[in-house]
Copies of this chain bind each other. A is one copy, B any other.
Amino acid sequence: MSWEDKVRKVTPYTPGEQPRRTDIIKLNTNECPYPPSPKVAEAIAAFDEDRLRLYPDPAAADLVKALADHYQVDKDQVFVGVGSDDVLAMAFLTYFTAGKPILFSDVTYSFYDVWAELFGIPYKKCALKDDFSLDASDYLQDNGGIIIANPNAPTGLMADLGMIEKIVLANQDSVVIVDEAYVDFGGVSAIPLVEKYENLLVVQTFSKSRAMAGMRIGFAVGSKKLIAYLNDAKFSFNSYTMNHLTIACGKACVEDDLYFKEITGKIVATRERVKKEMAELGFKFPDSMTNFLFVTHPQIDAEELFLALKEEGIFVRYFKKPRIDQYLRVTIGTDAQMDALITFLKEYMKNRSFV
């Protein structure tokens, strides 16, 4: 026997490219095109480096309190982690132990099945309808837990809150997680429902709407009981995850609500404008409530266009997967970046005589 026989073999997730080149238009990982709040820079400048010799506050109380105040919940209803991936993985580990299949969509965030496999959680994928909308009846069957990305990724579509509530209500014997990574671009959050449903966990991130992907902050809001279980699991795993600077910067970011509204507003305006222009070029897409569009074109091969864009220095995301291999996920950048994209697309189509 070799030591290798005892080792877990995992097919790693391939994250979107993070090219070191700075001369590109980066529309491939749904980052915010605007810098974080100036309050974040101030927090970094004010930080006393000597504090780094001490462990951070394991409860990240300053950040938790800022979030609790912002979302008008109790501080015992907030959990923070190293990006929403950390929060979600910890939630899978904590809530999905029944041995029954957990349920999620066939076209959704690609980490869900990876975490399930990693933790030995059985799962069942429920097919979205042809238009990528959610079929609530899929979530009325017996299950070990439920996770729904809303708005969904990579489709961009949002299920209305009534449907989410219906699913939560019908599953009082399971934890239902709503992953709202993209909710701040005009979506409607389920956070107000956590007061009503003890089994509902809402997860959000600082990586998109708060322009802090590089700082790694995610959080969850739920009932006190739900959050207590999550904290217990987290403290048994790694007590100190959020470093001093992350806590300080996260707090500063949340407190600057005006800036947050400004940048998300700009992105929504750009998105709506780009929707029109893409539609005029013949692209089809679900009606996105996120900071990206999930586009397909009846006459253009998605992978070919993906490569042509890359050659031009415009990075978008292509998933070679069933149902979505003729789609590209295009992050909403600045107006100038989107203009460059549209200009290229017009040229590309003209050369192929599509228009």
Q: Which residues of A contact B (CB under 8 A)?
A: 1-13, 15-16, 18, 26, 29, 31-36, 40-41, 44-45, 47, 49-58, 82-83, 85-86, 89, 93-98, 100, 114-115, 118, 120, 144-145, 171-175, 198-199, 207, 211-216, 225, 229, 231-233, 235-246, 249
Q: A16-B55, A40-B49, A55-B207 are known; give 9 further A-B pairs, CB within 8 A.
A: A3-B171, A6-B98, A8-B94, A9-B229, A15-B58, A33-B53, A35-B50, A40-B52, A216-B240
Question: Main SS of chain A's interface residues?
Answer: loop
Q: Is the CB of B173 within 8 A of A56?
A: no
- Contact sample, A vs B, 10 pairs, CB 8 Å cutoff: A3-B175, A6-B95, A6-B173, A10-B233, A12-B233, A34-B53, A82-B241, A115-B236, A118-B236, A245-B246
Across the interface, which residues of B come within 8 angstroms of A93, CB to CB?
8, 118
Separation of A252 and B173 alpha carbons in the complex (Å): 50
Q: Is the CB of B118 within 8 A of A83?
A: no
Across the interface, which residues of B come within 8 angstroms of A41, CB to CB?
49
Each complex incorporates copies of this chain amounting to 2
Across the interface, which residues of B come within 8 angstroms of A16, CB to CB?
55
Closest Cβ of chain B to A172, distance in Å, is 7
- Picked from B97, B114, B214, B239, the residue with its CB within 8 Å of the CB of A51 is B214
- Picked from B26, B55, B171, the residue with its CB within 8 Å of the CB of A18 is B55
- Picked from B9, B36, B231, B233, the residue with its CB within 8 Å of the CB of A53 is B36
Q: Which 3 A-B pairs have the closest CB atoms?
A: A12-B235, A6-B98, A52-B214
- Picked from B82, B233, B239, the residue with its CB within 8 Å of the CB of A8 is B233
Q: Is the CB of A52 within 8 A of B212?
A: yes
Separation of A238 and B15 alpha carbons in the complex (Å): 10
Closest Cβ of chain B to A42, distance in Å, is 9
Closest Cβ of chain B to A15, distance in Å, is 4
Q: Is the CB of B12 within 8 A of A215?
A: no
- Picked from B35, B171, B173, the residue with its CB within 8 Å of the CB of A49 is B35
Q: Is the CB of A52 within 8 A of B83?
A: no
